[in-house]
């Protein structure tokens, strides 16, 4: 399996522009997570989906952020309009919940976003 | 909300030394996890702990789930250069709930 795939790996944009980050989870996984990582705040959960349905979006910072999962193999995280404080590494992760304790989330390589 | 505390932020050790990292929480968790992040990559799960008091090993790594369920530690023995990276602890309350991550400890290993 190719693992979780994210694109682009790097994105540089100007303030006010729309940014779309993409994620392809591991085939067969029924949970998908979007995280943001910064030096100041560490790794923060933004939103997660189960069977393509958003379960908890309480970590989404504000209305400028939106996420969709139109099917089991694709998700997007959109920022519109982008601001310099959105600069961070954004990770997508997926897992297959087997009803057991524990949580092996498999992370993608991340998208490094820089907003100028 | 729940917070996990990891300190210090950075650790510097000599190759061959053992190192121990601690993670504490203000609230209890039912699962503790330790992840490692290499530069330019996403975190990778090292060890998962499911019961209070549990001690689990994975090669040179050993982790323990604290009795109070509010802490965990990770020990790396005989460190090698490829142990360099950021080590995160994460806690989970319910089997199907989200993870809470600590801010991570950056480990440097001097040859």
pLDDT digits (tens, 9 = 90+) for B25-45: 999 999 999 999 998 899 999
Contact: A42, B98; criterion CB under 8 Å: no
Of B2, B15, B8, which Cα lies nearest the Cα of B86? B8
pLDDT at B2 over 90: no
pLDDT at B95 over 70: no
* DSSP 8-state code for residue B43: -
How many residues are present in chain A? 116
Bridge partners of B39, per DSSP, are none
Pairing of strands A106-107, A88-95: antiparallel
Residues in chain A within 8 Å Cβ distance of B56 = none
CA distance B106 to chain A (A): 11
What Cα–Cα distance (Å) separates residue A66 from each residue in A18, A43, A48, A49, A94? 11, 18, 12, 13, 18
Q: Looking at chain A, which runs of residues are DSSP E strands?
A: 5-7, 10-13, 19-24, 31-38, 42-50, 53-56, 65-71, 74-79, 88-95, 106-107, 111-115
Distance, in Å, from the CA atom of B62 to the CA atom of B31, rounded to the nearest integer, reads 16
Structure tokens at B56: 């689990």
pLDDT band at B96 (very low <50, low <70, confident <90, very high): low
A105 lies within 8 A of chain B by CB: yes
**Average of per-residue pLDDT values in chain B:** 92
- Write out pLDDT tens, residues A44-89: 999 999 999 999 999 998 899 999 999 999 999 999 999 999 999 9
Return the exposure string of B30-64: e unless at least 16 CB atoms fall within 10 Å of the residue's CB, then b: bbbbbbbbeeeebbebbbbbbebeeebeeeebbbb
Which of residues B62 and B96 earns the better pLDDT score? Answer: B62
pLDDT at A101: 53
Distance, in Å, from the CA atom of B104 to the CA atom of B89, rounded to the nearest integer, reads 7
pLDDT at B98: 83
B5 near B102, Cβ under 8 Å? yes
Contact: B42, A93; criterion CB under 8 Å: yes
pLDDT at A11 over 90: yes
Contact: B31, A103; criterion CB under 8 Å: yes
pLDDT at A97 over 80: no
pLDDT at A99 over 60: no
CA geometry: angle A45, A50, A54, nearest 5 deg: 65
End-to-end CA distance of chain B: 40
Residue B84, classified by CB atoms within 10 Å of its CB into exposed (0-12), middle (13-18) or buried (19+), is middle
A34 near A23, Cβ under 8 Å? yes
């Amino acid at each position: 399996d190719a693992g979780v795939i994210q694109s682009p790996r790097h994105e540089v944009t100007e303030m006010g522009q729309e940014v779309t980050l993409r994620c392809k989870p591991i085939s067969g996984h029924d949970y998908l997570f979007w995280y943001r990582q910064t030096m100041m705040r560490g790794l923060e959960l933004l939103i997660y989906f189960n069977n393509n349905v958003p379960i908890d979006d309480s970590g989404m910072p504000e209305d400028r952020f939106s996420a969709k999962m139109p099917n089991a193999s694709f998700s997007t995280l959109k920022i519109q309009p982008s601001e310099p404080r959105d600069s961070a590494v954004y990770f997508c992760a997926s897992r297959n919940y087997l009803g057991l304790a524990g949580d092996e989330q498999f992370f993608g390589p991340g998208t490094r976003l820089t907003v100028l | 909300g729940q917070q996990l505390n990891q300190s210090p932020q950075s650790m510097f050790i000599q190759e061959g030394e053992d190192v121990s990292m601690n993670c504490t929480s203000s609230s209890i968790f039912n699962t503790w996890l330790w992840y490692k992040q290499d530069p330019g990559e996403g975190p990778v799960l090292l060890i998962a702990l499911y019961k209070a008091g549990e001690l689990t090993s994975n090669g040179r790594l050993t982790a323990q789930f604290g009795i109070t369920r509010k802490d965990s530690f990770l020990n790396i023995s005989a460190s090698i250069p490829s142990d360099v990276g950021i080590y995160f602890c994460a806690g989970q309350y319910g089997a199907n709930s989200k993870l809470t991550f600590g801010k991570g400890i950056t480990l440097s290993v001097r040859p």
